[in-house]
Structure 1
Amino acid sequence: MDKEEIIRIIRDEVSKEFGAERIKEIRSFGPHEGEDLDVVVYVEGVDGYKDGADVNMRLFEMFYEMDLDVPISIERARDAAGEEAAA
């Protein structure tokens, strides 16, 4: 599976959880040794791990079934000055 397809799957699942308009940026890194792709999703108004836990688990299970190792982090979006965006 290519990088664009992995990111599309992640964007679709995160959109279901938070709404597409709240996704501000998706960054991907890699692949690194033993991983297919590392992904960070910046979402407006999330409160760290607890808000992203459900979608993170769904994505982990989806990629596990596809035999892909894609670590995902869902983080609070920051504004242009680097400050956390208002919730």
Structure 2
Amino acid sequence: MKVVFRKWPKQGGVIALFCGSAKDCNPGNVMSYMHVGQHGEASRSLGQNLPLATLAEYQPLLRELQAIYAPEPIEPVRRLVA
């Protein structure tokens, strides 16, 4: 499963945007995951407008997703392909 990790500049939180999930969402959205709030839809524009999170920033969220989706591997990518 390909996931883009972006960060909120002011809040410092990280959001995971799931590639290939647009077909399951309202138009213009993809599935997302954050530690607080967990799964939900998010605008695809976040994949362009928010800066990429570093490995150190997204590592805790990656571990959380790995626990949820095991045994399916989570592959961090740099570009959102909805």
Q: TM (normalized to structure 2)?
A: 0.37
Q: TM (normalized to structure 1)?
A: 0.35
Q: Which has the higher contact order (CA 8 A, sep 6+)?
A: 2
Structure ranking higher in helix proportion: 1
Structure ranking higher in strand proportion: 2
